[in-house]
Amino acid sequence: MKVLLINGSPRREGNTFLALTEIAKRLAAQGVESEIVSLGTKPARGCIACSQCRTKGGFRCVFDDDLCNVINAKMADADALIVGSPVYYGQPNGTVLSLMQRMFYSAGELYRNKPAAAVAVCRRGGATATLQTLNMPFQIMNMPIVTSQYWNIVYGREQGQAALDTEGMQTMRTLADNMAWMLRNIHADNAIPIPERETPQPMHFIR
C-alpha cells in the first residue's frame, strides 16, 4: 500500500511539508509506504479545455512542462492521495488548483475510487474554505474522503511553527491512522467490491 502526498507549498520544507511529514511518519509506523512530491516554485499551466488528453489517451495532459504528468504516473502505482496546501487569501495555492484540475481531467481513472484527503496550513483564517475547495474534486472522482478528529488544519506562519501546533499535529497523525485503516480494509481478502457505477448522464440546463 502506498500513499502519494503532494506538498502544494512553494516552500519545499515549510509548514505544509511539516504537516505532511507528520502524516508520512505515522503511515510508516502503520506499515504504509508514502512519497511526498513538492510542487516547488515552478509555474503550472491551467487547463485550457482542449480535450487532447481524451483524444490521445494514455492518461497524459498535452502540456508536459510541469508536474502534472509526473504526478499522474506516480498515481498509477499509488493507492491513495493526500494534497496539502498553504492558504492564500482563503484559497489553496493557485498552482495546486491548476495541477489538480488537469490531473483529474487527463487521468481520472488513475484516481477514481482511491481514498483521498486534503490538508490546509494557515496563519489564521481561510483554512475551512481551502479544505472545501480541495475536497470538491475528490467527490466528483468517487474518491472516499478520509477524515480525522478535527478538520485537517495546521496553524503556523514562519517556517517550523507548524510543529508547535500540538493539536494540528495530532490531527495529522489521526488522519494517517484513518487512512491506513481504510486502505487495510480496501485491500483485505474479504473486501467488498467497489459498487458498479451507472453510466454518467450529464444534463445541461440549456438545450
| Per-residue pLDDT tens digits for 33-46 | 999 999 999 999 99
Domain containing 54 — which CATH number? 3.40.50.360
Domain range spanning residue 163?
Answer: 2-186
Per the CB < 8 A criterion, the answer to whether 13 and 45 are in contact is: no
Mean pLDDT of the chain: 96
Looking at the chain, the whole-number percentage of residues with pLDDT higher than 90 is 93
| Dist CA 133 CA 101 (whole Å) | 11
pLDDT given for residue 204 in this prediction? 86
Does 77 fall in a domain? yes
Does 199 fall in a domain? no
Per the CB < 8 A criterion, the answer to whether 16 and 85 are in contact is: yes
Does 207 fall in a domain? no
Running DSSP on this structure, what letter comes out for residue 138? H
Does 137 fall in a domain? yes
How is residue 163 written as a grid cell? 510543529
Count of structural domains within the chain: 1
pLDDT given for residue 207 in this prediction? 65
Say how many residues make up the chain.
207
Query: 60-75: per-residue pLDDT in tens?
Result: 999 999 999 999 999 9
| Dist CA 138 CA 150 (whole Å) | 19
Does 206 fall in a domain? no
Does 204 fall in a domain? no
How is residue 54 written as a grid cell? 481524451
pLDDT of residue 85 exceeding 80: yes
pLDDT given for residue 199 in this prediction? 92
Does 125 fall in a domain? yes
Mean predicted confidence (pLDDT) in 52-62: 93
Does 136 fall in a domain? yes
pLDDT given for residue 202 in this prediction? 86
**Nearest CA among 63, 65, 75 for reference residue 5:** 75
pLDDT of residue 206 exceeding 90: no
